[in-house]
Amino acid sequence: MALGPRLELRQGQSLVITPQLQQAIKLLQLTNLELEAYVEAELERNPLLQRDERDSDPEPEPVKAETPTADYSVDSVPDSAAHADMDAGPTDLSPGERDSGDGDGGSDAGQAGGQVDWSRAGSGGSFEGDDDMEGRLTRAKTLSEHLHDQLAVARLSEAERVVAAVLIDAVDDGGYLRADLEEISLRLGCDDALTGKVLVALQGFEPTGVFARDVRECLALQLKDRNRLDPAMEALLDNLELLARRDLGALRKVCGVDDDDIREMIAELKALTPRPGAAFGGEPSQPVTPDVFVREGAGGMWLVELNTDTLPRVLVDKRYHARVSGGARSDADKTFVSDCLASANWLVKSLDQRARTILKVSSEIVRQQDGFLAYGVEHLRPLNLKTVADAIGMHESTVSRVTSNKYIATPRGMFELKFFFTSSIASSSGGEAHSAESVRHKIRQLIDAEKADTDVHSDDAIVDILKEAGVDIARRTVAKYREAMRIPSSVERRRMLRAAV
């Protein structure tokens, strides 16, 4: 057989992830804060994009997700991010502008639940040079600032102040020293004795217990300040693991005290602060903002609507595009303007698709978990990504991206969307399966109801009780759930109840 080059013509199908599809997929998994930052970057990069600062449209009509007695349906919305249906004509306005009535895009948004204006978002901001004096005056002082204030009036030499400043910077929010003294001495080129001397001085700062390297040292510093660090208390601090197990008999032998003394010593430890630095302000935490709201409507219906305040509102400046495209002379200029227009149109359309996809997935989750919303966690149904994906005609990966780091505000509190996806536990009576979260709740209720050491339930006893309630569960599963909820074993719980008597 002769070997040589030849040409062959083959026909086949393959999935190509275009840059536009990658952008749509990326937007799906962004949180509202990440989305705002992404859009801000696009506004700076693309001159044809601009934020719409006009007053938003009237309040939208929310999507209704009904209870089991109603006939629930969500009109078909194409899963553009999963199926790459990106061939439609570009849109010039953001979702909110489309709803206001330009072209036929408003009908598409209506398929996802009426005129939904998800574009009322403002970037805020301040004048240049505004140093937020009011915020600085009203915020709480941090632990680091409090320690540096004390260092300023401490009687230390210049070398000692340098070492002290480094040690203060190594203190965490709880007040513990998270640094190795030898490493600090080597880095600063000083003796270990100097570093140790400075540490002893800093351990006298307020709040008492700061600059400790472990819990034992933190408690010892506080007891020493109260003049209560006697040999018996030192022995108790050396055996905190026995205290954690509530093994009072072993503690009495180690400390050489009787029952009354050991109870008084434990009461003194409970009055101490294991995290002395927690009383001071730290960096302000970012509150969680819900992406979706759920509220109860008339007739037992659940109303689902997007939090439009978290979604940016952008549009394409067609007038500016016409002006700059007409003035473009070189091929490079024309290519740049064309790319900017295509990118702006795709961003607007991707934001629209993201909003409708989140709304569609959330509505199906509400429909599936209406029992939880109406009656509580015991009625939480087993649910997985495939069930939701099949119900709304999307791919599981799309549902997974939509539910990641997205939060829903319900009458029972705020939850991450992934909270509603729980594994199933078979029913002992052959009925409907139970949600793992509802089983954990039942285990917690049984243990919280324990009042005396004779009523403490072992894992085997909990298995029997749950089987009588129709839950077929293994003992190792009960133990796994109990440990995940940080609930001690029955032996430790019995010791705790006896000690509390």
DSSP string, 318-347: HHHHHHHHHH--SHHHHHHHHHHHHHHHHH
- For the stretch 273-301, pLDDT in tens is 999 988 886 555 567 889 999 998 888 78
At 461, which helix (H) or strand (E)?
A: helix 459-468
Angle (deg, nearest 10), helices 181-188 and 158-169: 130
| Cβ-Cβ contacts under 8 Å for 498 (sequence gap 6 or more) | 453
Q: What is the pLDDT of residue 500?
A: 62
Q: What are phi and psi of 209, to 5 degrees?
A: 110, -10
- For the stretch 102-153, pLDDT in tens is 444 433 333 333 333 333 333 333 334 444 444 454 557 888 889 999 998 8
- For the stretch 452-466, pLDDT in tens is 766 788 888 898 888
In the chain, the amino acid numbered 174 is G
Residue whose C-alpha is closest to residue 448's, from 440, 98, 190: 440
Residue whose C-alpha is closest to residue 444's, from 391, 408, 488: 488
Q: Which fold has domain 423-500?
A: Arc Repressor Mutant, subunit A (1.10.10)
Q: What are phi and psi of 177, to 5 degrees?
A: -85, 115
Q: How far apart, in whole angstroms, are the C-alpha atoms of residue 366 and residue 348?
A: 27
Do residues 67 and 374 lie in contact, with contact meaning Cβ atoms separated by under 8 Å?
yes
Low-confidence ranges of the chain (pLDDT < 50): 57-135, 137
Q: What is the pLDDT of residue 285?
A: 56
Torsion 386-390-391-394 (CA) sign: positive
Q: Where are the domains of the chain?
A: 19-121+289-418, 143-279, 423-500
Q: At 51, is the secondary structure helix, strand, or coil?
A: strand
